[in-house]
Amino acid sequence: MFLPLILIHYVNGHEVIFDPTREFPAYSCEELVSVLPDVDAAIIGMDDYRDERVYQAGKKLKCVCKFGVGVDNIDLEMAKRYGVAACNCPGQNSNAVAELTVGYMIGVLRHMIPLQKAMEKSTWTRMLGEELEGKTIGLIGFGAIARLVAEKLQNFQVKILAYDLYPNMEAAQKLGVTMTDPDRALEESDILSLHVPAVSDNYHMINKNTIAKMKDQVYIINAARGALIDLDDLAEAIQSGKVAGAALDAFETEPLPADSPILQCENVILAPHTGAETKEAYDKVSYTAALNVIDVLAGKKARYQCN
């Protein structure tokens, strides 16, 4: 019997069970229901732990730990009601995502994907790109990843605006970041980068109305959550020329459907939720996830418990 991504009865006498042949997408609710009855703890990717049937089936389940940071696919209150500790691994993949975010900015400014596609056709196409220097970067969210992005941008001579519900003024001052309201960030940014979790209040926060407030030829970067963007509205804005390019690492529906209009857009970098996928990040996240699980199975509170 194969079990979801990694299901743990780990070190100190605990047995590890996983399915090395399993490919994305994540396990469905029905698959989880069939395999959870004998499981004490689960380390998960994008598997859906928001359906009560999952917790009803997992009668021995004591811990569910996200292999990453975002826990929007775990119902925290429901897990708590069933006595399940919901955990994550904050900060362990932040550098990987921050580095990729800066890389995405340079990639869309220099039209790297259209140039690559042209080279594949043996076409020596020349395109006039843009430089980061002198640009205004808007960070929506100013948590650990966004702060690392701001730090890595220090030597590019850019102006950085940031919006956060709970602004870290000390970090902003240290990094030369101007904390502001979301409208100013939308209206003044040459590059807008998203760094917030997917919650009901910001569902499709990037849509035709908010895009209309942005500068013409703005660039949009999303290495956070797919639900932050109305993808059809973004595709329309790119095709109309309002948005000059975008780099997207997460999508509301994963894998991305083959008929998605964004696939027909020029100067778009699309990646399969790869922001945290580096050897270094996996080592750190794996270690933190294992510690969370070991703590819970030992009757202690996990180091990074969300509920």
From first CA to last CA, the distance across the chain in angstroms is 30
Parallel/antiparallel/unpaired status of strands 6-8 and 16-18: antiparallel
Residues 6+ apart with CB under 8 A from 207: 229, 230, 233
Q: Is 170 a catalytic residue?
A: no
Closest CA to 247 of 255, 236, 229: 229
111, 147, 195, 225: which one is catalytic? 225
Closest CA to 297 of 50, 48, 14, 107: 14
Q: Is 131 a catalytic residue?
A: no
Torsions phi, psi of 56, nearest 5?
-65, -35
Convert 87-100 to b/e letters by CB count within 10 Å (16 or more is b).
bbbbbbbbbbbbbb
187, 188, 254, 277: which one is catalytic? 254
Q: Is 273 a catalytic residue?
A: yes
Residues 6+ apart with CB under 8 A from 20: none
111, 147, 195, 273: which one is catalytic? 273
Q: Where in the sequence numbering do the catalytic residues fall?
A: 225, 254, 273
